[in-house]
Amino acid sequence: MKFDEYKIADEIKRNIENSGFKKPTDIQYKCIPSILAGEDVLAVAQTGTGKTAAFAIPLIELIDRQKKNKRSSGIKCIVMCPTRELAKQTGGVFAKLAKHTNLVSFALYGGIEQERQAAKIQKGIDVLTATPGRMFDLISQGIIDVSNVRFFVLDEADKMLKLGFYEDLVYIKKLLKQRHQTMFFSATIDEEIKKLAYSQVKGDAIRIQISPKDPVSRNVKHGVLFLKQEEKRFYLLDFIVENPQAKIICFARTKLRVERIKKFLEKNNVSCTIFHSGLAQDEREKSLCDFHENRCPILIATDISARGIDIANVSNVINYDLPEIAENYVHRIGRTGRGDKKGEAISFCCKEEEGLLKAIENYTGYEINRVEINEETVQKAKIGAENENKSLQEMILNEEAAAAAMRKKRRK
């Protein structure tokens, strides 16, 4: 089936074509007709399969149709997202696909001043893509009116519910006075989350699940490399040097480890940009922009960027540290191999992380491919780690000698 065959406005079809969509993906093919028909939807599909467009396209059509047929005002659709970056990105998709229509969209999130956001909302919008915190702030201030909302979307539903936003979800749903459609979209979902989700949709809601047996996209070739903790940075450096054309996202467990990796790479004349929750909003946006525009093709990040962020042509994902939550593995490596592109992911696993690897393999349902390392790379990493340890030991000895000399001087 082609997008031309859907009963949607010509303007939207042109926007779809200009956005580079050739034909609907599986999740789009199954979701678009159901949403256009007014059904509640619970959709689960692998990362990189076009879930955002799967709900944005039919919602733009329905809202545009509504505005053409009768005079209407106020917010008609709310899309709740777990992170600022995803809210902004989803808002961008709506804006791009709604060009030359009557629909106005706006992305709302924290980290920036409220005044300009409030002014934009009060001027009049149709679609609000938002993080919960800032949205509830403006609802409580009377700036956001949800009385006309007809469509409600929970994006990355599993994370939203697991982060404890269930009560917020129930609260916002109670505020929606109009009869409305509810849509939950996610790459992963378990039985508990499914139960919570179904409690908030109509009994005859459509459940759509694509490729449930393997949560990892078939476009992603992924494997695991066993090594010592102290050798990880040298394998990372070697990979970057050996693949100068690669566009890489490297995931580390903590903000501190992200900063340390950056420092190590820059010490070895490799430029990179970083992304974690400790950065100010403008710093986060600049990092993503530099990476997106290829001004810096290496991004070191925590799991905050593992979900939903759609950056084109990421060739490689490196799990410097294995994720502590098994399903985050799927979200991380889903940053590559998006759409019809191919991608590769490699995970570094030291002895202390073997339990995490086992949990990931239990989640995916199969053993992840073991990657062999050539002897030259092994030796380079080993020598690098040994030299670093020697440098550290020398620094400690020098500091101890300096401290001893100071004590001796004081005694005199």
Asked if residues 239 and 265 have their Cβ atoms less than 8 Å apart, the reply is no
Q: Cα separation of 368 and 358, whole Å?
A: 10
- Residues with Cβ within 8 Å of 250's Cβ and at least 6 positions away in sequence, in order, are 236, 261, 272, 298, 299, 300, 301, 317, 318, 320
pLDDT for residue 392:
46
Show the domains of the chain with their CATH numbers.
Answer: 3-209 (3.40.50.300), 220-376 (3.40.50.300)
Q: Which residues of 373-409 are buried (b: 16+ CB within 10 A; e: fewer)?
A: eeeebeebbeebbeeeeeeeeeeeeeeeeeeeeeeee
Nearest of 276, 277, 340 to residue 312 by alpha carbon: 340
The residues with which 207 forms a beta bridge, in sequence order, are: 42
**Displacement of CA 31 from its chain's centroid (Å):** 21
Q: Which residue has the tokens 């394998």?
A: 235
Write down the pTM of the prediction.
0.74
Instruction: Please give the chain's pLDDT, 412 residues, in tens.
Output: 788 888 999 999 999 999 888 889 889 999 999 999 999 998 888 777 889 999 999 999 999 988 887 766 789 999 999 888 889 999 999 999 999 998 999 999 988 889 999 999 999 999 999 998 899 999 999 999 999 999 999 988 877 777 777 888 888 888 988 889 999 998 777 777 777 777 877 767 788 877 656 778 888 999 999 999 988 999 999 999 999 999 999 999 999 999 999 999 999 999 999 999 888 888 988 998 999 899 999 999 998 766 657 788 899 999 999 999 898 898 899 889 887 789 999 999 999 999 999 999 998 889 999 998 777 766 766 666 666 655 545 544 555 566 666 666 666 5
Helix (H), strand (E) at residue 292: helix 281-292
